[in-house]
C-alpha cells in the first residue's frame, strides 16, 4: 500500500480530525483516485477499528471519532465519486432502519447511487417504517434501500416491508437491503427484492431494477 494510503488508514484509526482532510487532498494530488482512497485507505482503517472495538480495545467515543474522520474524508471524495451523475436513471429512497445509528455504509451507497445518475432521497438514520412509507408516497421512488449494521435492527427491515404492504405501496417499489450482518437468505426470508454486499453491488442492482444496467 502507498505511504499516503497507510497514513489515511492510520488517521481513521486514530480519529485524527485535524489531518484527514489534508491527507485526502495530498493523496488526490499524488494522482490517486477517489475509489483508491476509499477502498485502500478509509475502508481498511475502519475495518481495523471494527476489530479493535469487538476486542474491547476501542470504545464508542473513539469509534465515533474514527467515523467522523472517515466522513470528513468522504465529504471531499463525494463530488469525485458522483461526478458522472448527471443523468437521472431513477429514484431511490434510502435510510438506516429504526434503532440503528450506523450511517457510513448507507451514505456510501447513497453517494454511489447519485454517482450512477439516480436521484436520491436520504432519510438519514434511525428511520421508522412510517417514515419510509411517507417518503414512498411523496417521492414516488423506484427503489427503497434499507441499511442495518446490528443484528438486533435487522428486524426493522421486516417491519418496514410490512408497513409498505399495509400502506398498499409495496408493489410500487423494489426493496434493496444491505449492511454487514445482512445476507441473501435474510433478504429472501423477509421478502426483499435484493441484497447487495457493498456499495458497488448496490448500484449494479439498482440499475438492474430500473432496466439501466
Ligand atoms: Co457500531 N457496531 N455500535 N458504532 N460499529 C458494529 C456494526 C459492530 C459489528 C462492531 C463490533 O462489535 N465489531 C457491532 C454490531 C454487532 C452486531 O450486531 N452484529 C456494533 C455495535 C455492537 C454497536 C453498539 C451497540 C455499541 C454500544 O453502544 N455498545 C452501538 C449501537 C448504536 C445504534 O446503532 N443504536 C454502536 C455504535 C457505533 C458508533 C455510533 C460509535 C459508530 C457509528 C457511527 C456512524 O455510522 N455514523 C459505530 C461504528 C463506526 C461501527 C463499526 C466499527 C464500523 C461500521 C462502518 O461504518 N463500517 C462496526 C464494525 C465493522 O463493521 N467493522 C460497528 C464501514 C462501512 C463503509 O461499512 O456499514 O458495512 P458498512 O457498509 C458497507 C456494506 O455493509 C454495504 O455497503 C457498504 C459499503 O461497501 N451496505 C449496503 C451498507 N448498507 C447497505 C445498504 C444497501 C446495500 C449495501 O442497500 C440499500
Strand partners, 174: 143
pLDDT at 81: 80
- Would you say the CB of residue 122 lies under 6 angstroms from ligand 1? no
Integer Cα distance of 207 and 175 in angstroms: 13
C-alpha span between 86 and 201 (Å, rounded): 20
Residue located nearest, by CA, to atom 1 of ligand 1: 102
Residue 143 in grid coordinates: 427503489
Alpha helices in the chain (DSSP H): 3-14, 20-29, 34-37, 43-54, 60-81, 104-115, 129-139, 154-166, 184-190, 199-209
Q: What angle do CA 11, 17, 19 make, to 5 degrees?
A: 60
Q: For 40, which DSSP code?
A: I
> Options 1.10.357.10, 3.20.20.70, 1.10.1240.10, 3.90.180.10; which CATH number does 1-87 get?
1.10.1240.10
Per-domain boundaries in the chain: 1-87, 88-213
The confidence score (pLDDT) of residue 86 equals: 47
106 CA closest ligand 1 atom index? 84
CA R_g for the chain: 17
Does the Cβ of 202 fall within 6 Å of ligand 1? yes
Ligand 1 centroid – CA 105 distance (Å): 8
The pLDDT value given to residue 1? 62
Closest ligand 1 atom, CA of 200?
80
Q: Cell numbers at residue 181, please?
A: 450482518
177 lines ligand 1 (CB under 6 A): yes
Going by C-alpha positions, the residue among 64, 77, 74, 68 that lies closest to residue 17 is 68
Confirm or reject: Cβ of 106 under 6 Å from ligand 1.
yes
Determine the topology of domain 88-213 in CATH: Rossmann fold (3.40.50)
55, 58, 91, 102: residue to mutate for ligand 1 pocket, most atoms within 8 A of CB: 102
Atom 52 of ligand 1 has which residue's CA nearest to it?
Answer: 50
pTM of the full structure: 0.87
How confident is the model over 32-67, as pLDDT tens digits? 999 899 989 998 998 898 889 889 999 989 988 998
Can you give the pLDDT of all 213 residues of the chain as single tens digits?
Answer: 679 999 999 999 999 999 999 999 999 999 999 989 998 999 899 889 888 988 999 998 998 899 899 989 989 998 888 775 445 789 999 999 999 999 999 998 998 788 777 899 999 999 999 999 999 999 999 999 999 999 999 999 999 999 999 999 999 999 999 999 999 999 999 999 999 998 879 989 999 999 976
The predicted pLDDT at position 92 comes to: 97
Amino acid at each position: 500500500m502507498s505511504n499516503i494510503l497507510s497514513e489515511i488508514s492510520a488517521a481513521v484509526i486514530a480519529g485524527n480530525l485535524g489531518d484527514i482532510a489534508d491527507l485526502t487532498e495530498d493523496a488526490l494530488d499524488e494522482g490517486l483516485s477517489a475509489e483508491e482512497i476509499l477502498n485502500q485507505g478509509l475502508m481498511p482503517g475502519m475495518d481495523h477499528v471494527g476489530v479493535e472495538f469487538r476486542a474491547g480495545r476501542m470504545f464508542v467515543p473513539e469509534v465515533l471519532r474514527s467515523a467522523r474522520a472517515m466522513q470528513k474524508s468522504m465529504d471531499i471524495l463525494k463530488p469525485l465519486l458522483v461526478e458522472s451523475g448527471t443523468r437521472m436513471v431513477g429514484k431511490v429512497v434510502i435510510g438506516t432502519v429504526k434503532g440503528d445509528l450506523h450511517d457510513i455504509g448507507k451514505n456510501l451507497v447513497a453517494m454511489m447511487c447519485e454517482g450512477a445518475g439516480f436521484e436520491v432521497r436520504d432519510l438519514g438514520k434511525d428511520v421508522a417504517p412510517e417514515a419510509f412509507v411517507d417518503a414512498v408516497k411523496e417521492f414516488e421512488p423506484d427503489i427503497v434501500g434499507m441499511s442495518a449494521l446490528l443484528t438486533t435492527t435487522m428486524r426493522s427491515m421486516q417491519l418496514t416491508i410490512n408497513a409498505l404492504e399495509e400502506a398498499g405501496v409495496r408493489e410500487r417499489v423494489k426493496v434493496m437491503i444491505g449492511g454487514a450482518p445482512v445476507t441473501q437468505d435474510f433478504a429472501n426470508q423477509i421478502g426483499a427484492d435484493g441484497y447487495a454486499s457493498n456499495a458497488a453491488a448496490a448500484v449494479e442492482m439498482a440499475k438492474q431494477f430500473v432496466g439501466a444496467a
